[in-house]
Structure 1
Amino acid sequence: MRRHRRSPFIVLIVATFLAWGAPPVLAARYALLVGVSDYPNTSAFKPLRGPRNDVERMRRILSGRRFDATNITVLADGIGGAEQPTRKNILAALERLATQAKAGDFVYLHFSGHGSQQPALRLPPGADPEPDASSEIFLPIDVGHWDGKRAAVENAIADHELIAILKRIIAKDTFVWSVFDACHSATLMRSGDQDVRVRQVPPEALGIPESAWAEARKQARERGTQTRGAAAEDPLHIDSQNPAGRGRYVSFYGAQTTEEAPEMPMPLGLSAGDPRKRLHGVLSYTLAEALESLDGISYRQLSEFILQRYATQNISRKPTPAFSGSGLDAPVFGSAGGGPVLRQWAVEKRDGVAVVNAGLLSQVSEGAILGLFAAPQAKDSERIAEAKVVSTDIFESRIELLPNADGKTPALPNAAYARMLRPNISFKLRVAQPATPASDDKAGQLVRTALEAVRSRTSDAARFEWVGWGKPADVRLHVEQGRLWFLPAAGALVKDVPGAAATPSVAVKGAVQDLQSVLGKSLDRIAKATRLMRAVQGVGTLKPAAGLEIKLTRLPGGKTGAGEPLRPGGTPQLTAGDVVRFEIANKTPSAVDVTLLYVDAAYGITTLFPDQGQLNRIGRGDTLRSVDLNPDTGGIKLTDDTLGSERLLVLAVPARPQGGTVDFGFLAQAGIVARGDARTETEDWFAAAVFEGGSPQSTRSGPGGLRAEGAVARVFAWEVLAADKASPNASKHH
């Protein structure tokens, strides 16, 4: 289609940057934060409420990351003291950065607001030729409508304008990190949540006529004819502009271009109407969450965390955040990386109450257990006390010290530091009911009756929370065209798109008892898959694997050869018929027990390894290879049985001396395999979380047992697309 392209907003900037050398020594840190909420010049599309919150939160975070307040420029409406995010002010701020930044400096750019597209007409010399005839645009507060004389949307900022300035900044040997929490694509999606809005404006709302698109397509064809067969020229001219080759670039964006970037009340874990909720762009909030929670990681690890948070909160089968750039393996903000991720915060006394400088944004919630230490450099074995979080807000929490083994409660020292021991992860699945059906809506009435029966199940009290239509939820039910659709939190309904991943649904037909059974089983399946991802989060996907090396390789169409490496931290697009080959090398000091689980787009869970009765222990120095397990395909064969976002989970636990193996195969969606021996504490923790939906702290070990046993979890995500000749009888995984 003419208005859809594979690259996300401004992705062509990233595509032009080459991988330059080692990261520079940071001399100064600059930031430009742009948030556009209201659009007073037009009523053709809805204003947003989240960008101003995104900007305020990022300003606070950057202030704690050695950004001088005088070097942080804020352009946002609704924020006291900030200039308006007009086209003139945004471009002027970028020009100042291009002038001020020097070799070794760090530049952070954050854009929150609406995006769209316009016909690629009258491009300046040297601009991207736009073969699909469209240019991405960001909409400032003073955006207008299509100006036929200028062949552009009034006051919009086009991608080629940003590219020109960013080239100049990077050519000065800087490190640039840009975040675009906006999108522009018009997709076949709907949102029934009154609190969820998408940061996308269809070009029609800007008054762009069809004649302009026709002319743009004509010019694109002419440009294609003129450039066909010519070698691609590097528009950055890196060799001449940057012989030292130090500057690098990283870009995070809220969605692929065929997707929508939503804003919604965050955190999602709080109940609807909780005063602590604030509207945020999902990418902006999740990024802030990561920066408040983690340190000493790379941009690639940061992207892994963001993808994992999207999965654990069932934010959406879409959008898929995208991450690109030559500096993905550099440490975030230039901090020293390579060591374990240590989450700790200062504790202070306020009117006799112990307060920790971390809250919901740092993933600290009521019921979590913290360890207290006398010094920030103290070893884990030097813990002086444990404390329970009794209340929390966005940035801080109040704690109560717990009795020691002797039953006595220690006094809080004058100086103390808290570290997370056992997070209190919510395993309830919040389900939003469909809108009240009309009296003549037979399908809606049937769903309503079946749903009432499902809600009455007494066993569901600890597993489900039911909310009304239009309220934020993990899963939202929607009835349309005789089907019951299971929408994710961001409310994307996709249907009737050839080759695309449709929203999961079931037909509304037959007796109410039949629908009740189908509805109950479907919700159980969704809940189980979602809780599994949250349980993995409880293990900690960013903990170093301590010598466990995992390599994935894609074999397009299952063909033999070296293949293409797949790395965590991205969401590559794979095709039905592809084979994913894996190797897991154990370079740890001891044996490890490994389980591989596959979570498909329809919430199915399949055990890839081990098979029933198969030993899953990898000895010290040994390697597990998929080609040895499955010589026929060499790995995981993807089919079109399910299409969309799918994930491979690798769970590894150090072998217990004189103990049996730890095998998580019982988590498979198809059912529990009968076992003759008792589960380990680690297995019990996952079982309670996934099957019962209960708090891990109610089990024998809790997450502390996981930490002690050294469990490691890694998540690899990809999107499976349809292929023209995918075998309908092929096995999905073996």
Structure 2
Amino acid sequence: MQAHALAFCRAVSLAHLLIGIAWASTTAAQDRHAILVGVSGYPYLSEDARLNIGSDLDPTKDGPANDVLTMKTTLLQRGFANDNIVVLADGVSDTPLPTRANIISAFEATADKLVAGQDDYVFVFFAGHGSQQPARSRHMESEPDLLDETFLPYDVQPWDTEAELMPNALLDDEIGSLLAGLRNKGAFVWMVADTCHSATITRSNLVHLGEEVKFRSWDMRSNAGSSAHSMATSPVKVAPVDPVALEETAGGFVGFFAAQAHQSAPQARLPKNSEDQKTRGWFSYAFNMALSEQPDLTYGQLSQRILDLYNAEYISRFVTPYYENIDQFQGVAAFANTSGNRQMQWQVRKDFDGNLMLAAGLLHGIGTGTKLAVFPTATAGEDEVLGLVDVTHVKATEAKVEHVHDHKGDQPRIPARAWARLVEHEPALSLRVSLESASGASVPETNEIAESLRETASAQRTIRFVGNDQASDVRLVLHRDHLEFRLDPTDRIGHAAQGKAVPPLATPFPDQPELQQAIEDRLMKVYKSSLLMKAADVISEDPAIGGVELHMSLCANARPSCVDYPERAQITQPPSLSPGDRLQLSVVNTKFELIDYTVLHIDTDFAIAAVSQGRLTKDDDPQRIMQDKITPGQSGTQQLIVILVEGRPGEELSGFSFFQDPKTYLWARDTAPTMRGRTLELEVAERAQIAVYHWWSSEN
């Protein structure tokens, strides 16, 4: 599994996690393209590899073929031109076979059609077998479990015992490069994958589902030495895809994936009790069904509706879909690529004591006094509002809400599982910023910067402009040729500021808007790092979640073996690491059915990157979630923030990779700022843990 990505059910978006998220906007000239890949039969593998319930290759029986046809119908209804939809599927007439070479060619041909700067849109769909194989040597350092996730094209060959791979399998890194080729043209990409890599599960484990269920996973070694390849002439082995790095100007990405890392993607005869029953992937079926019921769903509402359909059929007891970048695009209409109006919403549920708990807290920027509107479902219209709630107590990953009332002042009945949408936001933290001039600085330029700060503070409630005579967290000092950012190492942001520096801004600036944006971008990095440290301090006041242990080890070039690496709280000075040293992080979970994890890296200049994110099951053995090599960079303190939260079956992964997005907290714009201190009233046990590791990095 990729250290900077998720298992194949989500690792195909590898490049986005390594670089970050780029945003695209819609223009009148935008073109829409689609690549639909469905693999049902595998002629070079044994017959039980086929994803059809019957024995013959038949579109009425083959799940991926049906999924591709249904998906194409959905796209045509959404305005995609037929000529811009590339279909690669066996069992579908007049379409090329989904071989490795044809899949690669389809991506390259689509990339050639895209126009840079036009903000085109590309929908990518994969359906078929997923699996794993030992990582190639050049990928070992980025693979914590030393495995590459793969998608199996039509012409994949039996397991090669000597090479430990399946020839013609499409690797996660290769899919990431193919996606990067699209996004580097400025195109927004929405990828949907109805596949996974887990070991095969037989129907006998799922008899309660009523219909025969087969899983889209394949144990590649099961074909080692098999004579199945005699069914056809051995196919040509296709060369590897050249690596493609994601550029800073790349288009955005959102991913919908059928299962978590440890799960398989099911298919069955659907719809139930219908004469039109065909073998379909459950995820594809729920995806298209949700869009047919409510065509105007946002990405966030669609993701929740799919979960609702899974829960209604008990599928969620075994499979939970994974959604990537859903926080960033939650309020954006499906098949749109602009950030739009981000309507933030989170689940509200009752705990064992009857308290209403919001599934958002400090790490989501929520502060005491925040007001939210409660709705019965994630897709409910504005006229279905049940009432309003106020946030009264805030913790790291959740908050207690009270004072439920409707417009008449009555107490409405709130269901056990409801949804709350942001109405009036109170930030969890306000960054105090002041400005002063050094000797020789220009007075007009000082006034210009002061005006920019006032405009930023009036629009962005997380930043507060204060006078020189007041305490500040960040003091801006204008020199003759640059603007300096001085951090006050007080207890308030001390952990975040220690050993770090904000890059100065060269002056003068060509225009006011550019200056304001540059200042805001730098301050937002400091703000988010401070928020992470504050959440770590808050959660440390409660005992860590029992039964879950973190193990960090350092494998230094100068040492023959790896050694334990302590958390920040256990040492006074950060250790000094050199380029080439490796950090490995594992989790032992002996108590909880599910644990969701996020690993964030904070660089010396406060830049935040998501290193790893996923979901772990209960296991007495260590599960490695990260393996990173130290690379040359700026001198200063670097940090890893590890966030663990108890996962809930049938619900989305509780992830925090959105911290790497520069626009994460821009939805929190309102009127005059309010200072909020740390809330110490922690009445409801929070099953979460935050660990901080830090080190000193030198330039060479």
Greater relative contact order (Cα < 8 A, sep 6+): 2
TM category (shorter chain) comes to 0.3 to 0.5
Q: Please, what TM-score do these two structures have when normalized by structure 1?
A: 0.45
